[in-house]
Amino acid sequence: MLERLRTRPVAAALTAAVAVLAVAGAGIVLAGRLVGGGGGADRPSIVLIVTDDQRADMMEPMPIVRERLAGRGVTFRNGFVVNPLCCPSRASILTGRWSHSTGVWRNNVPHGGFPSFEDSSTVATWLHGAGYETALVGKYLNRYASTYVPPGWDRFVALRFSESRNYYLDYELTVDGRVVPYGSAPEDYSTDVFAGHAEEFVRSAEGPIFLYFAPWAPHEPGVVPPRHEGLIGWEEPPRPPSHFEEDVSDKPSWVRRLPPGDPATVAELDLRRLDQVRTLPAVDEAVGRILDALADTGRLSNTLIVFTSDNGVSFGEHRWDSKLAPYEEDLRVPLVVRFDPLTADGVVHDALALNVDLAPTIAELAGVDAPGAEGMSLVPLLAGRETAWRDGFLIESVGNRPGVTSYCGMRTTRYTYVLYRTGEEELYDLEADPHQLENAIGDPALAAVRAELRARTLEACRPPPPGMVLPSE
């Protein structure tokens, strides 16, 4: 039913010509050679980089990503996740499917976490079956704490979850089925350890590779490596109009229950945000090491590199200080794609690009099937071709208690509509109200918009989040 979401033509966004000559069978002909067309040596390598809780406006401390990825590829300024929570989002990234299809709604059981994920068909198994050498380095799924190596991975270096919420130091990894502990010395800093494993994999592998690189950063509480202490600060913390919004009388009950920001709370959130941002230069350096390894092994010119995050996060917007919410801060993520045979330099695209689009994009360029994937391949957009594209997408969440109420909704190119388990609704005209300050659900001028988006939500949100019963109309 998601395929029935409205599409609209997307004009070519590239400012330079791209040598796309034809689409041929399972592969794409670029400048006279076949990419993704079966078992040849020209199959592209793939590097998928997924940070943790990095919102779209947290790219400033990452000059390598900005210059060597965004400057050589395409930035999707409207990059989104369809469920703004870590584990559900990662399940969607690995499969190209919405939460109502993966069954992964939460970070914990029931209906979430590693135990709830069906791993027999993922982008790793698709590529491994086609002869790719594959590696996961970093965070796999929340509540993974075993020595189990999921199917499809030749190398598996995964964080083991424990009672700790800090996985920068004093953590354990499962390395190809064996437990390896790390301590609190500077050389144990997890981003650097992951970078070492990733670099070693790229340099030692033969043929085309698939590397899924997933650092813990910038997840809170941020721990900064000693070499970056004092590297980043700010004169004034960001203060959007929605920061600890004063009048929330038009918001749903879960927001109205949130306390207004007192000075101590605001100061704590400012420090938390700064500490998270300070973890990103190490991630940037890790990206540089991976790019250098790709270049040294002759792969860089034929590697699809994707940089994104599993969800955004709020730092006091609408009084909220976490993720899960159907607001822009939580839904938006950075999304940068470089693939030299296809992308022009420094392009910014406006299309709605989702985390569920990554698996089908990878599959198309690798020349493999993406069974069950519900997203859309980004390849036409990367190539600058005019194509029919979505004008909206389903957002969904099982919520948590206390906090966000379960919801389904529709985020379009102009509006956000949300229907909560309680029956409460929100509607925002993002052109007129980009900070989502005025809930327009009762505005007579938008009655037709509300009716259309409600109908689209009810059609797409099936099955609904566990425990949520959809109205009959």
Q: State the pLDDT at residue 10.
A: 58
pLDDT confidence of residue 4:
34
Give yes or no for residue 330 having a pLDDT over 60. Answer: yes
- With beta carbons less than 8 A apart as the criterion, state whether 155 and 137 touch: yes
pLDDT mean across residues, the chain: 92
Residue-wise pLDDT for 140-193, tens only, equals 999 999 999 999 999 999 999 997 778 999 999 999 999 999 999 999 999 999
Instruction: For residue 40, give both structure tokens.
Output: 């040849």
> Are residues 105 and 141 in contact, defined by beta-carbon separation less than 8 angstroms?
no
Q: Is the pLDDT of residue 24 over 90?
A: no
123 and 210 in contact (C-beta within 8 Å)? yes
Per the residue annotation, which of 86, 87, 408, 461 is the catalytic one?
A: 86
Residue 335's nearest CA partner among 306, 364, 375 is 306
Per-residue pLDDT, averaged over 223-249, amounts to 93
- Our answer to whether residue 86 is catalytic in this structure is yes
Which stretches does DSSP call E strand in 139-188? 155-159, 171-175, 178-182
For position 235, what pLDDT does the model report?
79
Q: What does the pLDDT average to over 409-437?
A: 98
Question: Is pLDDT of 14 > 50?
Answer: no
Mean pLDDT throughout 447-459?
98
All domains of the chain in start order, with CATH? 2-391 (3.40.720.10), 396-460 (3.30.1120.10)
Q: Given a cut of 70, is residue 342 above it in pLDDT? A: yes
> What percent of the chain clears pLDDT 70, i.e. is strictly above it?
91
Looking at residue 41, its pLDDT comes to 57
Name the H helices within 401-470. Answer: 447-460
Counting Cβ atoms within 10 Å, is residue 410 exposed (0-12), middle (13-18) or buried (19+)?
A: buried
Compute the distance between CA of residue 464 and CA of residue 421 in angstroms, rounded to an integer: 10
Supply the pLDDT for residue 26. 40
What average pLDDT score do residues 125-135 get?
98
| pLDDT-derived band at 38, boundaries 50, 70, 90 | very low
Q: What is the pLDDT of residue 298?
A: 98
What is the rounded average pLDDT of the residues 224-235?
A: 90
The region of weakest confidence among 130-139, 161-170, 337-346 is 161-170
Q: pLDDT at position 2, please? A: 33
- In DSSP terms, 17 is beta-bridged to none
For residue 469, the model assigns a pLDDT of 96
Q: Residue 285: what residue type?
A: E
Q: Say if CB 53 and CB 309 are below 8 A apart.
A: yes
Q: Is the Cβ–Cβ distance between 399 and 112 less than 8 Å?
A: no
The C-alpha angle 419, 425, 431, rounded to 5 degrees, equals 100
For β-strands 387-390 and 7-10, DSSP reports them as: antiparallel
Query: Using one digit for the tens of pLDDT, what is the confidence trace for 369-419?
Result: 999 999 999 999 999 999 999 999 999 999 987 899 999 999 999 999 999
- Poorest-pLDDT segment among 8-12, 59-63, 217-221: 8-12
| Average pLDDT over every residue of 105-130 | 97
**How sure is the predictor about 35, in pLDDT bands with cuts at 50, 70 and 90?**
low
Query: Measured between alpha carbons, how far is 304 from 123 in angstroms, rounded to an integer?
Result: 14
Q: Tokens at residue 350, please? A: 């406006």
The number of C-alpha atoms within 13 Å of 91 and in the hemisphere containing its C-beta is 31
Q: Could you report the per-residue pLDDT of 265-289, keeping only the tens digit for each?
A: 999 999 999 999 999 999 999 999 9
pLDDT at position 473, please? 60
HEC readout, 279-333: CHHHHHHHHHHHHHHHHHCCCHHHEEEEEEECCCCCCCECCCCCCCCCCHHHHEC
Is a pLDDT exceeding 80 seen at residue 20? no
Beta strands 20-24 and 27-30: pairing type? antiparallel
Residue 278's closest CA among 327, 224, 235, 197? 224
Residue entry with tokens 């959130």:
269
The residue among 18, 52, 267 whose CA lies nearest residue 138 is: 52
The pLDDT assigned to 151 comes to 98
Question: What average pLDDT does the segment 225-232 reach?
Answer: 93
b/e code 235-265 from CB counts within 10 Å (16+ = b): eeeeeeebbbbeebeebbebbeebeebeeee
Instruction: Please report the pLDDT score of residue 18 as a whole number.
Output: 34
Tell me: pLDDT of 29 over 70. no
pLDDT tens for each residue of 292-320: 999 999 999 999 999 999 999 999 999 99
